[in-house]
Amino acid sequence: MKAYRRQVDERHPLIPGYTGYIPLRFYRIGTSYGSDSVWCVNAFRDVTQKKSDQLNDLRCTAATAPRLPPICSNEEIINVLDDYNYNHHPNVVGPVESRRSLPEPPIPGWTGFVPRSKVTEFGHGVRYHVMAENCYQDFKDSLDRVKHDPDSKEPKKEVQLAKPKMTRPHQRFYRPEGMLPKYTGHIPHERSGIGKTFGNVCRSCSVCFHPDVSYGAYLAKKRKAEKMQELTQEEKKV
CB 208 within 8 A of CB 175: yes
What's the pLDDT at 212? 81
| SS3 label, residue 60 | helix
Q: Which domain holds residue 215?
A: 173-238
Task: Provide the pLDDT for residue 100.
Answer: 67
For residues 108 and 120, give the distance between their C-alpha atoms in angstroms, rounded to a whole number.
Answer: 22
Quote the pLDDT of residue 57. 94
Mapped onto helix, strand or coil, the DSSP state of residue 177 is coil
Residue 60 pLDDT > 90: yes
The rounded distance, in Å, linking the Cα atoms of 86 and 80 is: 10
pLDDT score at 9: 64
Q: What is the pLDDT of residue 53?
A: 94
Q: How much of the chain exceeds pLDDT 70, in percent?
A: 77
In a domain, 228, yes or no: yes
Please state the domain count of the chain.
3
**Domain match, 102 and 151 both:** yes
- Asked if the model's pLDDT at residue 98 lies above 70, the reply is no
pLDDT at 32: 76
Same domain flag for 82 and 44: no
Q: What is the mean pLDDT of residues 52-76?
A: 90
Q: Has residue 208 been placed in a domain?
A: yes
Position 47 pLDDT exceeds 80: yes
CA distance 176 to 204: 9
- The one-letter code for the residue type at 42 is N
Query: Of the candidates 162, 161, 164, 219, which has an alpha carbon nearest to the alpha carbon of residue 188?
Result: 219
- 193 and 222 assigned to the same domain: yes
> What is the identity of the amino acid at 15?
I
Residue 49 has a pLDDT of 92
The helix (run of H) or strand (run of E) holding residue 234 is: helix 215-237
pLDDT of residue 3: 58
pLDDT of residue 159: 45
Task: Give a yes or no: residue 45 inside a domain.
Answer: yes
Does the model's pTM come out above 0.75?
A: no
pLDDT tens for 8-37 read 766 667 777 777 777 777 777 777 777 777
Closest CA to 111 of 94, 93, 90, 132: 132
Q: Is residue 168 part of a domain?
A: no
In a domain, 20, yes or no: yes
pLDDT computed for residue 18 by the predictor: 76
Q: What is the pLDDT of residues 189-225, one digit of tens each?
A: 677 667 777 778 778 787 787 788 777 788 888 888 8
* Domain co-membership, 83 together with 152: yes
pLDDT at 156: 46
Cβ atoms 128, 111 nearer than 8 A: no
